[in-house]
Structure 1
Amino acid sequence: MSESTSFDVLVDKYISQFPSDVQVKLQSLRQIISNSAPNAVEKISYKMPTYAEHGNLVHFAAYSKHIGFYPGASGIEAFKEELSRYKGAKGSVQFPLDQPLPEELIRRIVEFRVRANVEKSREKKRKK
């Protein structure tokens, strides 16, 4: 079993522990992230699904009333106006389970994080 396959199983297992309506939202979020960051590695980190490409991009986790989405402080700051309708903190946002996921916004946040990580990686290489 390859490393990515074993992580796929772990993420599948993570998602399967929730009620079916929440599983649908988590699978949708997973698909949006995978489509928006096709080169990202899916793994479990901090006990939640995590996507990494030149460092961590985003994490997500389900709770009783919301899905926590963690694009880091830069991801929140860059989209703070559009995220203002949701509860959140410096590096996270809460998407209520009783509302549709803002799929287009999530896609743009993930793509932003990919660009930011690629640029950060290039900067590190230039300094060497």
Structure 2
Amino acid sequence: MPTEVSFAEFLQTVPERRQAESAELITMMKTISGKEPVMWGPSIIGFGSQQYRYDSGREGDMPQLSFSPRKSAIAIYFSEGFEHYGTELKELGKHRSSVSCLYVNKLADIDAAVLEAMVKKSWTIANASAKPRTVEEYIAQVPANAREQFLALRSLVRSIVPDLHHVLSYGIVGYKADPKKRALVFISGIKDHVGIYPVPHDDELRKELAPHIRGKGSLWFELDGELPEDLITKVVQELT
């Protein structure tokens, strides 16, 4: 479990060489994940959080990316195992591995670019299998190419209805007037568009929305253009 201990304080307790190597790994993992480093237990520095469940029924939380600067070797954790990394392990350099842990005597022994590619793949795998539990986790999982547009849409909706509660609902972001009731409007970020749900019933407004309506209940806005703020304002006001 994550602790309140500062990772910076922890690093003061490890050898100087490990401090420098840890700084490199922290920069790499923070850049890839967009998460701040947090201590998990007494000696693991982790980024992000995901749930695990063993066949035995045991379950809990663990970091999505993590490492431990041990005296004998740096341990870098890959919770998904190494079946996805056959080529990378051949090109990595001097290392040992167990079921889900990569051991490196010193970072200078391995190819930094290969390790970075492995960590990026691990982050992708972790997020593909982990369902978001909060609005923040959902935002982190919005595809990178759609995130700017999604954040712009989110900011616009919040400016239109600042008093509504924003929550994770049905796996996307919803806005509620009453926390105990169903959300009134939903937004999402997908690889090729951002969306608003549902489509208002007003006939005149639906005519304006026609180019954006997909299926029976969703509005799509492409990523390569500016959001039609006036139109979206009408939609949100009608739904709320």
Consecutive unaligned residues of structure 2, counting only runs of 5 or more, are 52-62, 134-169, 172-240
Counterpart Cα distance in 1 of 2:66 and 2:16: 20
SS in 1 for 2:104: strand
Counterpart Cα distance in 1 of 2:132 and 2:28: 28
Q: How does 1:93-104 map to 2 (within 5 A)?
A: 93-97=102-106, 99-104=108-113
Classify 1:46/1:78 alpha carbon distance in 2 versus 1 (closer, same or farther; 3 Å): farther
Match of 1:46 in 2: 41
Classify 1:49/1:98 alpha carbon distance in 2 versus 1 (closer, same or farther; 3 Å): closer
Moved segments of 4+, more than 4 Å: 122-126
TM-fit CA distance, 1:31: 0.6
Match of 1:3 in 2: none
TM-fit CA distance, 1:100: 4.0
Classify 1:102/1:57 alpha carbon distance in 2 versus 1 (closer, same or farther; 3 Å): farther
- Whether the aligned pair in 2 keeps the contact of 1:65 and 1:97 (CA below 8 Å) is no
TM-score by length of 2: 0.42
Match of 1:21 in 2: 17
Match of 1:32 in 2: 28
Classify 1:90/1:10 alpha carbon distance in 2 versus 1 (closer, same or farther; 3 Å): same
Aligned residues: CA RMSD: 2.8
Counterpart Cα distance in 1 of 2:49 and 2:96: 27
Identical positions, percent = 9
Counterpart Cα distance in 1 of 2:49 and 2:115: 17
- Whether the aligned pair in 1 keeps the contact of 2:79 and 2:100 (CA below 8 Å) is yes
- Matched AA of 2:66: H
- Whether the aligned pair in 2 keeps the contact of 1:83 and 1:93 (CA below 8 Å) is no
Higher relative contact order (CA 8 A, sep 6+): 1
Q: How does 1:110-125 map to 2 (within 5 A)?
A: 110-121=119-130
* Larger displacement relative to structure 2 (114-123 or 84-93): 114-123
Classify 1:53/1:63 alpha carbon distance in 2 versus 1 (closer, same or farther; 3 Å): closer
Q: Deviations over 1:51-107 (max 9, x none)?
A: 115553222112223101002134x22113432542110100111127345322232
Classify 1:99/1:22 alpha carbon distance in 2 versus 1 (closer, same or farther; 3 Å): same
* Larger displacement relative to structure 2 (13-22 or 76-85): 76-85
Alignment length (residue pairs)? 118
Match of 1:73 in 2: 80
TM-score by length of 1: 0.73
